[in-house]
Structure 1
Amino acid sequence: MTKQNLASQEKTRKKSGDNRSLLITAAYKLLAQQGYEATTVKEIARVADVSPGLFHYYFDSKEQLLLEVIREASDQYKRTMAQLRDEVPRQNLTEAALARTKERVAREPEWFRLCYELYALGMRNPGLLPAAGELLERKRNGIAKMLQAIAGESSEDGQSSWDALAALLLACFDGLALQKLTQPDFDLDAAFQLLYELVEPRLKSNEG
């Protein structure tokens, strides 16, 4: 095989990855802005600047694309929080983790809109209910890992002791974000400060 053929194949491979990323980025924006029902495959392809036919090359359906969008965004945030655990001293980790979560409401409101969209779709569409449950489980597991790190437990210690608190914190995070998005004047800072004051003593008492 010639060098030109190899170069051409590499260019095609990179372009293929770019097209998929462009579709996911476009879908993230449109689904968050307009909702699942109002967003069409044709519109996603137009914003991504790819042909509608390519959409079905990468994704079987709009439903599959929604799940890929949410999984990719969730994985990216998981990596961000893992970096936070590695870089921030344990004694400051509770405050830093809550601050990062609060900041996400302002920086990435579309993420929360997408989550609410999937929750609502799951309630109406039994086929999407497992995906909504998967998203909630991924969120709980991420919070539990952070609680483990704050308490000084290793990942081999398991997460069962933190599952209940992780579930409560997830309900707080999603609920507070919803209040801020629907009521821009809602005092998110005060709510997170009180949450910190409630949670920090419990975590201190469980430090290893």
Structure 2
Amino acid sequence: MARPRSGTKTPASTPEPDARERLIAAGYRVLSERGYDATTVKEVAKEAGVNQGLVHYYFGSKDALLLAVAKAARQKYMDELKRLREETPHEQLAAASFAWGEKLLKETPEQFRVRYELFAMGLHNKELKPAVAEMLQCVGEEVALTVAAVRNGEGAKPEPLDHHYAAIVKACVDGLSLHHLLDESFDPAPVYALLSRIVLESQGITSGKKPAARKPKVHARRGRVPSPRRRAPRAPRSR
């Protein structure tokens, strides 16, 4: 169990062994359902079934609690993506990654709500901005590792282009899910499928197949090789 913040007072009642984890789980549920402004320390403690004083004991403030919630959600996302990368055959990784991402869009919209609340926290609270930026960088690095594995094989280190692909995919997924959260009549699935096809085809990948082998550069001029000229028959000599 993580140690409480320094300088905080020990609560009157003895903390339960899993109180911190329960508060984070409760904070995730409340934040995803009600948003940052409507989330209160009292409501989170009630949802977790613990004393309200434990929130200040472990986290010190509402913002610190919600930042811990966002970090836990980020870690879960990164662990799942890493496991997908390690357990999926290389030739299937590209298609499997997009299928996994589409599943997240459909089945766990609450994680995107938490993500957007995290963005808002970073924009409105200068003290939290560096921590929010660091979390975004960690997620981007994990996505870039997956892109590098697709493009250059398992264990490949991300190159600048891998990070560019990762940024494009993340930005598009965030935009699609945000659109859907604000307008439930908008279906992101076909747009996501188009995004998948565009990205995969840009690397010569179709239907989960390996990238097409690149043809070596030919430095010689293209065109037909001229056939050797035939000599005309010599005329017979006159005697």
Q: TM-score, normalised by structure 2?
A: 0.75
Q: Compare CA radii of gyration and give the structure with the larger one.
A: 2
Quote the residue 1:140 is aligned against. 140
Pairwise CA distance, 1:207: 7.5
Q: TM-score, normalised by structure 1?
A: 0.85
**Greater helix share, 1 or 2?**
1
AA partner of residue 75 (structure 1): Q
Query: Taking structure 1 as reference, are residues 153 and 207 closer, same or farther at Cα in structure 2, changes over 3 Å only?
Result: farther
Quote the residue 1:95 is aligned against. 95
| Structure 2 contact 70–115 (Cα < 8 Å) conserved | yes
Pairwise CA distance, 1:109: 1.3
Pairwise CA distance, 1:131: 2.5
How far apart are the structure 2 equivalents of 1:118 and 1:47? 20
| Structure 1 contact 150–207 (Cα < 8 Å) conserved | no
SS in 1 for 2:25: helix
Q: 1:47-86 counterparts in 2 under 5 A?
A: 47-86=47-86
Quote the residue 2:236 is aligned against. none
Q: 1:1-208 counterparts in 2 under 5 A?
A: 15-16=16-17, 18-155=18-155, 157-204=157-204
Pairwise CA distance, 1:45: 0.7
Query: Structure 1: which 5+ residue stretches go unaligned?
Result: 1-12
AA partner of residue 101 (structure 1): G
RMSD: 2.2
Q: Which has the higher contact order (CA 8 A, sep 6+)?
A: 1
Pairwise CA distance, 1:152: 3.3
AA partner of residue 202 (structure 1): S
Query: Structure 2: which 5+ residue stretches go unaligned?
Result: 1-13, 205-210, 215-239
Query: 87-96 or 162-171: which moved more?
Result: 87-96
Query: Taking structure 1 as reference, are residues 25 and 206 closer, same or farther at Cα in structure 2, changes over 3 Å only?
Result: farther
Deviations 1:155-178, CA, capped at 9 Å, x for gaps = 463443311111111100100111
Query: Taking structure 1 as reference, are residues 136 and 36 closer, same or farther at Cα in structure 2, changes over 3 Å only?
Result: same
AA partner of residue 120 (structure 2): A
Pairwise CA distance, 1:203: 3.0
Residue identity (%) = 36
Query: Taking structure 1 as reference, are residues 122 and 157 closer, same or farther at Cα in structure 2, changes over 3 Å only?
Result: closer
Deviations 1:111-160, CA, capped at 9 Å, x for gaps = 11111112122222212222331232122112101101112345463443
| Structure 1 contact 139–170 (Cα < 8 Å) conserved | no
How far apart are the structure 1 equivalents of 2:91 and 2:153? 13
